[in-house]
Amino acid sequence: MPFILNRQALAVISCSLSAAATAQSASPVSKLDQIVVTASRSAQLQKEVLGDVSVISKDQLQKSGQDSVAEILSRQPGVQFYSNGGPQTTTGVFLRGTNPNQSLVLVDGIRINSSTQGGANWAAIDPNTIERIEIVRGAASSLYGSDAIGGVVNIITKKPDGDRPLAAWGSVGYGSYDTFKSSAGISGAQDGWDYALSSSMADSSGFNATNPDNIYSYHPDRDGYRQHSLSGSLGYTWKRGHHVGLTAYNGYMNGDYDAGEYTSPAYGITRQQAYTLTSTDDITDYWQSILRFGLSKEYVENRAYDSHYSSLQRSYTWQNNIQLTDSQRISTVLERLEERPAHSSSSYSVNRRDTNSAGLVYRGDFSAHHLQASVRNDNISGYGNQATGGLAYDYDLNERWSIGVAGNTGFRAPTFSDLYSPYAPNPDLQPEKSRNLEFNLRYVTDTTRLGLVAYQNKIRDLITLDPNRNWAAYNIDTATIRGVTLTGEHDFGDTSLRASADFMNPRDDASGKQLRWRARQVYRASVDHRFDAVTVGAEYQFTGKRYDDAGNQISLGGYGLLGLTAGYDFSKAVGVQVRWNNILGKDYTNAYGYNMPGSNVFVNVSFRM
């Protein structure tokens, strides 16, 4: 798929460069100084986190061009993804080699995993309304309950930046496949009030989702999409240490796909919503109480086959953070989750499920010793109790070196489609369960960060669909995923180098075969350099051979992708960013019969005031 820079794109670039006469670039925040909340359910500096955690920053998201959230995630260690022909199609994210429905996805702390299908609706999440993404690798059910076998991805939407009356920002960009994207927002904080509102839209003609290898779905056309999203927050500090806040996210995708020669046009609609109402109150200097109500809704419609499904989830949380001493704290968690699914073809025989949970998280720091322990019990209607636990210990060998070990358990409750499918229900399914062990070694200075993580995640009672039984779901498989991840970063003044290598053996224990769509090796490297107002960078990623079937008969070849980025700050208010992906025009796929983008460029102009 060669890249052609047409006259429209050249016109946009020329206009952008001439019109942007006033521009900006925010000073980057040190990675280790970032606040992380997902790893322990309470705020802490990233350098103090126990476990394998990383953060995708606002600056990284701004440089992503027209890439989807799944593509952005795949540039992080331990993350791979697949899509069926573009950001608007079915997409799955593999966290440390686990299935897409075995990782918990949150928006502002509220779960959005589908109650009917299990995974997240990635197509409805737009990077332009995201402030940052926190990734916690390794089983985390003792913190968050079901689905967190491979880890947790917490998508945090844009919030007020500092205590000032009003700030506004926006961006507009154009690129390959006639892709146009724009976004705008405001935020501020004054007199106890804080507020933020962000919106975005995108329109793309896309590329052909399928190739002739896909004999059932192939159709020679371009498969585009229309996307928009809206997020906002409103809060009020009515007394020092007492804050009430509301957040909202609404994402929408209308995207084309291929369903064969005689089913055209074929398109689907995906909507994802997440809302929270939170009261955070410092009862004393040592006791913080957090009450939260969360509501998430999904709606997925297939217009080619006139079908749809949806689900609604309500969650109620009461968390108490108690500082026992200067070096010890605990968090108690009481939660209730109410799931209500629906399907167009027929009602499920059971259309509600309630989960009542209680958990405890302990963190202690004793000189060179650091400990985090967590336990949780989830009582699920129809299943009874699912107990999980986690224990992590780090030891500081000296000021630069540290070593750590961790063990935790996880589970995933079957979806309503697994249990109560109108076509082949199996209400006797058992939850998937896992045991994860890991070891880490770290070296950290002001300019250098090195890391090694070795892990094993053993998963039993895997749920698979049996084609010989009308595609009914059954607990028949076990899997073992072993891996080692190496990471390194170094700053040479205005130059930053980053690299990582993933070595993984994702294996089906019964057959000994490699798990579908997962590579055993992934290498990543990037470099960025700043010349006054100009920033340039290069990225390279190699993904090894994968298979598209359980028997390892359909091979997907390995591939390497080279990309370039550049930015120029005209002033402190306006800047331009350019991203060129797959500059060598590599023809590759991460799902058999489906295409991936060829060489593509995106130019974006951003402003802030």
- Does residue 71 lie within any of the structural domains? yes
Q: Is 215 exposed, middle or buried (0-12, 13-18, 19+ CB in 10 A)?
A: exposed
pLDDT-derived band at 62 (thresholds 50, 70, 90) equals confident
Query: How would you classify residue 162: left for phi > 0, otherwise alpha for psi between -120 and 50, otherwise beta?
Result: left
Question: Closest by alpha carbon to 160, among 247, 51, 280?
Answer: 247
Q: Which domain holds residue 189?
A: 35-608
Query: pLDDT tens digit string along 467-506?
Result: 777 778 888 889 999 999 999 999 999 999 999 999 999 9
Query: Does residue 248 belong to any structural domain of this protein?
Result: yes
pTM for the structure as a whole: 0.92
Convert the pLDDT of each residue in 430-446 to its tens digit: 999 999 999 999 999 99
Short-list 138, 142, 164, CA closest to 151: 138
Side by side, the strands of the sheet bearing 110-111 are 52-56, 130-137, 151-157, 103-107, 110-111
Q: What per-residue confidence (pLDDT) applies to 345? A: 57
Res. 20 pLDDT band, cuts 50 70 90: very low
Between 411-420, 452-461, 535-544, the lowest mean confidence (pLDDT) is in: 411-420
How much of the chain exceeds pLDDT 70, in percent? 94
Is 317 a residue whose pLDDT tops 80? yes
Rounded-to-integer distance, Cα 609 and Cα 601, Å: 27
- pLDDT above 60 for 19: no
Domains held by the chain: number: 1
pLDDT at 5 over 70: no
The answer to whether residue 14 sits within a structural domain is no
Residue 49, pLDDT above cutoff 80: yes
In a domain, 21, yes or no: no
CA pair distance 97, 541, nearest whole angstrom:
17
8 part of a folded domain: no
Within a domain: residue 20? no
User: What is the DSSP secondary structure assignment for residue 65, as one 8-state letter?
Assistant: T
Stretch 99-114: mean pLDDT, rounded? 96
CA angle, residues 526, 557, 506, in degrees to nearest 5: 80
> Residue 69: pLDDT band by 50, 70, 90 thresholds?
very high
Residue 266 pLDDT greater than 70, yes or no: yes
Whether 165 maps to a domain, the answer reads yes
Judge whether residue 55 has pLDDT over 80. yes
Q: Give the rounded distance of the alpha carbon of 307 from its chain centre.
A: 27
- Residue 259: CATH number of its domain: 2.40.170.20
**556 domain residue, yes or no:** yes
Is the pLDDT at 4 greater than 50? The verdict is no
In eight-state DSSP terms, residue 15 is: H
Q: What is the mean pLDDT of residues 298-309?
A: 86
